[in-house]
Amino acid sequence: MRHIALCLGSAVAWSWLALPAAHAQAPVCRDLPGAVLVPGTTDVKPYLARVAPKLASADPPLTVAYLPVGSCTALDYVHQDLELAGTAVYWPGAVDDDGQPVEASCSFAPGDRADLAFSDVTVQTCTGEAPPAGLGEFPSLVQGFGFVVPPSSTQQAITAAEGYHLFGFGGEAGQQVPPWTDPAFVQIRTPASSTQLLIGLAVGVLGTRWSPNLTQAHQGSGALLAATAAENTTGNAEKTIGILSLQRYDGARDQVRMLAFEAFGQDCLGAVYPDSTPQAFDKQNVRDGHYPIWGYLWSIAPIDDAGAPQASGAARLIDFVGGTTPLNGADPVIDAARAGAVPPCAMDVRRAYDGAPLEAFEHPAPCDCAFEAVATGDTACAPCDDQTPCADGVCRFGYCEAR
């Protein structure tokens, strides 16, 4: 039986616009100012769309040439030293008449290799083996994932046990999970997708071993979102379900609705949303450990003997994404919150590896107040600056943090 817990205390446990088609040939990605060639999870695009335009106009510039693919596919480019081909997306720093960042395309040249890869899962999760010597893994933002349904569906929650039967058996007789009994309306990703892999860990069915009955597999999160939302008025909303990252969900709450999730062993607490309520954006239950379906955004890059990224541009980008220092108006804390992700400094729990048990965590320089102010538009923390110091606590990111 599913029951939903909404209010919980602390516990351990832009859109972007495509550049109009032009007659001029797309530039070569490697020739862009300060180019960094980055295949990466499709779920990081909302974040990149916010920070990459500002990074491209920094001094010196840092232009992200981004190839959106599944997490494990992205890892293959650095793990197997594969050649990049085709076109990538980049943000040159220009804006349109509405002030929105312009998205453009560039072409990979023969022999191009990735400087780093963005993935929501580790090499171990994708390959079953530890990363080889010469390849480094650098954690950064926390990205959550969950189950979505069309808005007209009456379903409110799903349990891990139901997920086990739904994805492990795909509607087989005797193993069905009403109302999601028709596999034609179960929208999934691929075994190379971090969304599927991390949700698989949470429900006890590896993302590489989901039922072959589930044929509605999508290469990208945008396609899955569209397919799920399309069933809202077809009469099939009740039996439709999909899987999605919170970054994608937060930008599409008018198209789909997130279900609460009850993890294994959580039957006393009940199902919880990633946020404190269905309407909130605070990621409270992710941050305090009640909602377990999340992973770090990993930067995977070739490293030198000292463990540092080999490419200087990769090192700069990794330092930015994993840090708290703004660069030319791009802010790894504020922009993460606006994109639906959580910076580590706003987390009260951590995990050692994908799907690992949660443990209590105190960041050395917490940013809970700034995160809440940006994500929700409100915070109980007092504002502060050089002229208005904190009566108690520490002034950080414009607010008085408790420590």
Q: Per mean pLDDT, which range of 99-108, 110-119, 277-286, 345-354 is the poorest?
A: 99-108
Using CA atoms of 84, 86, 91, 92 in order, give the dihedral in degrees to the nearest 10. Answer: 100
* DSSP secondary structure letter of residue 68: E
pLDDT tens for each residue of 169-185? 999 999 999 999 999 99
DSSP string, 335-381: HHHHHT-B-GGG-SEE-SSTTPPPEE---SS--HHHHHHHHHS--SS
**What residue type is assigned to position 277 of the chain?**
T
23-50 mean pLDDT: 91
Residue ranges matching CATH 3.40.190.10 in the chain: 4-12+143-287, 17-140+295-350
Domain 4-12+143-287 has CATH 3.40.190.10: yes
Q: Please, are residues 323 and 305 in contact by the beta-carbon 8 Å criterion?
A: no
Q: How far apart are CA 208 and CA 311, in angstroms?
A: 32
pLDDT tens for each residue of 151-164? 999 999 999 999 99
Task: Fold for 17-140+295-350, please state it.
Answer: D-Maltodextrin-Binding Protein; domain 2 (3.40.190)
The structure tokens 């893994």 sit at 137
Confidence of residue 22 (pLDDT cuts 50, 70, 90): very low
Which of 328, 321, 322 is CA-nearest to residue 59? 328
pLDDT tens for each residue of 256-294? 999 999 999 998 889 999 999 999 999 999 999 999 999
The residue with greater pLDDT, 146 or 22, is: 146
Q: How far apart are CA 332 and CA 346, in angstroms?
A: 12
Q: Please, are residues 62 and 266 in contact by the beta-carbon 8 Å criterion?
A: no
Cβ–Cβ contacts within 10 Å for residue 233, how many? 11
Tokens at 297, concatenated: 């955004």
Q: What is the pTM of this model?
A: 0.87
Tokens at 231, concatenated: 């069933």
The mean predicted confidence, pLDDT, of the chain is: 92
**Coil, helix or strand for 240?**
coil
pLDDT at 212: 97
